[in-house]
Amino acid sequence: MNFEKLLKAAQEIKEKAYAPYSHFHVGAALLTPSGKMYTGCNVENTSYGLTICAERNAIFQMVNNGEQEIGEILVIGDTDEFLPPCGACRQVIAEFAAKDTIIYMCNRHGQFKKTSVAEIIPFSFSLDK
């Protein structure tokens, strides 16, 4: 099942996060329709606006490797609540995903809430995909 593969990859990459300011490690993993997986972790900077989130890190890895479509994506952090993507990440996800693309929002225990792009950002800027 894709969920287990995504969860394992996101948990592993989360441990590599660079978060000396927030101490909040986040991992993301996505699968493309071709079956390739890309991962990312958050990388903080003392100038907080230059910080990159895990989701965008994974998406940019996907684009760097010549792909431009998210099949499904998972995000996990060190919280007991299900971790949703931030607003910036929601917009970037919407840029590379269909409205019905699955997003798994996980907590530290690997439990998840399944949602879609249309649910988390119903009024995204779009090229009407």
pLDDT tens digits along 56-101: 999 999 999 999 999 999 999 999 999 999 999 999 999 999 999 9
pTM: 0.94
- What the block records as the tokens of 99 is 């409205």
pLDDT confidence band for 128 (50 / 70 / 90): low
Among 19, 32, 87, residue whose Cα is nearest residue 61: 32
- Which residues are known to be catalytic? 55
pLDDT confidence band for 125 (50 / 70 / 90): confident
Among 116, 50, 114, 61, residue whose Cα is nearest residue 88: 50
- The packing angle between helices 87-95 and 54-64, to 10°, is 20
In this predicted structure, the answer to whether residue 126 has a pLDDT above a threshold of 80 is no
Q: What is the C-alpha separation between 44 and 115, in angstroms, rounded?
A: 27
Q: Which domains does the chain have, with CATH numbers?
A: 2-120 (3.40.140.10)
Mean pLDDT of 21-37: 97
In this predicted structure, the answer to whether residue 129 has a pLDDT above a threshold of 60 is no
pLDDT score at 17: 98
Contacts 24+ apart (CB under 8 A), 97-102: 97/69, 97/70, 97/73, 98/129, 99/129, 101/70, 101/71, 101/72, 101/73, 102/72, 102/73
Among 69, 15, 72, 5, residue whose Cα is nearest residue 40: 15
pLDDT confidence band for 122 (50 / 70 / 90): confident
Q: What is the C-alpha separation between 77 and 43, in angstroms, rounded?
A: 13
Mean pLDDT of 15-42: 97
